[in-house]
Amino acid sequence: MKRRVISILFVLILSINLGGCFNYREINRITFATSVIFDVDEYNNVILYLDCMRPYRDAGESSDKGKRILFKGQGKTALEAIRDINISSSNRIDLSQIRAYIFTEKVVRKGIKSYINLINNNQQLSFKPYMFVFYGDIENLLKISNNDEEYLGMYLDELINRNEHNGRIIKSNVKDYMTDRLTGDNVSLMSALQVKNDETQSKIQLNGGVVIKENHIVDRLEEKDALTYNILMDNIREGTLEVHNPEEIDKLITLDILEEDNNTGITIEGDEIVLEKDINIRAAIGEIQGKLIVNDDVINQIKANEEWKIKNYQEELFKNYKEKGIDIFGVTRLLQEKHPNVNLDNVLSRTKLKTEVNLIIEGSNLVKGSM
């Protein structure tokens, strides 16, 4: 009882001391950045954009008001560019609410070490925001961002969180990047971002991933390969698999992925390293194109064909990156964890992938046929 009273008193004292950190008058003098875009010009000067919200709160009203502002700064370094923005803003710019760090393709090809150091050293900049590499004309991104009602940082944060377990999405925040770049073979991934144009509107969308080694881009993981990568890395909790209808080969059946269980092991056999993946995928029939009578024989046929296809895709993807010498699968890191006393050179080139795929199709007894 005494401990509980002391705890309550402590909370009350703390709330009195911290109360009013942002009162109405103060918050009206602060501009909050929701995203930051890093770019460079032809002279290697840093161009920095901040998508900001300038709030306005009235103590006499319950509603919030705000104004969207896009700032642009320039300098020899990112910090100088931020200071350039600060001297052009009548309000103090707060960077603690940033939800997305966006790097242009040009920046990542030149290297992002200095920008990562800025994020690491600046007390306001957080490790939680997701990181993106933008492909395309920066002016198009800014135009869409400026015309959209939704703040860019908030939109991207929500887009990632809404698709957190989608197998076709690559996601990485600063914490993930900092960990990956300092362990194993120093390979990290970021989400690839681009503008999609259609007949009605232009929209910002995710499109695969970007492979980064030692703070420079070394490859692009296409969207079609993202699902295979995520299955191998046990990053998938939802998504779809498209299989051919066994009765109408030009039609498709969509399987909804419900769950994945991935058991990983790594062994040393002489000079060879064996990366073992025991993969169990639970799925349900989501859609059937054309005619199909669903029975055990059909399910077993779909199961066998899709297991072979998944296994084949995994072997092809692993072979592709093995030949490139890019360890996106974290083989070196895993070897260091499982066999810390073993010191081998050229780990990836010595590694052979061995996978077992078990696809469990549920709910088949509920589907008798489809037209």
Q: What's the pLDDT score for residue 363?
A: 61
- Residue 79 neighbours by CB under 8 Å, 6+ apart: 118
Q: What's the pLDDT score for residue 3?
A: 46
CA angle 192, 44, 122 (to 5 degrees): 70
Q: Which residue has the higher pLDDT, 369 or 209?
A: 209
- Residue 221 neighbours by CB under 8 Å, 6+ apart: 170, 189, 192, 208, 209, 210, 211, 229, 328
Tokens 């084949």 correspond to: 312
Q: What's the pLDDT score for residue 29?
A: 77
Question: In what helix (H) or strand (E) does residue 174 lie, and over which residues does it extend?
Answer: helix 174-181
Tokens 């103060």 correspond to: 26
Domain coordinates in residue numbering, the chain: 22-221, 234-371
Q: What's the pLDDT score for residue 13?
A: 43
Percent of the chain past pLDDT 90, that is, above it, reads 59
The per-type count for the chain, helices as H runs and strands as E runs, is: 12, 15
- What pTM was estimated for this model as a whole? 0.84
Answer whether 225's CB lies under 8 Å from 208's CB: yes
Fold for the domain defined by 234-371: GMP Synthetase; Chain A, domain 3 (3.30.300)
Percent of the chain past pLDDT 70, that is, above it, reads 86
Average pLDDT across the chain, whole number? 86
Going by C-alpha positions, the residue among 157, 142, 131, 156 that lies closest to residue 210 is: 131
Q: Which residue has the higher pLDDT, 60 or 34?
A: 34
Q: In what order do the strands lie in the sheet with 239-244?
A: 239-244, 252-269, 272-288, 351-362
> In angstroms, what is the C-alpha Rg of the chain?
25
pLDDT digits (tens, 9 = 90+) for 237-256: 788 899 999 889 899 999 99
Q: Which residue has the higher pLDDT, 167 or 230?
A: 230
What's the full length of the chain, in residues? 371
- Say if residue 357's pLDDT is above 50: yes
pLDDT digits (tens, 9 = 90+) for 177-235: 999 988 888 999 999 999 988 767 788 889 999 999 999 999 999 988 999 999 999 98
Residue 43 is given by DSSP the state T
Q: Which residue has the higher pLDDT, 60 or 5?
A: 60
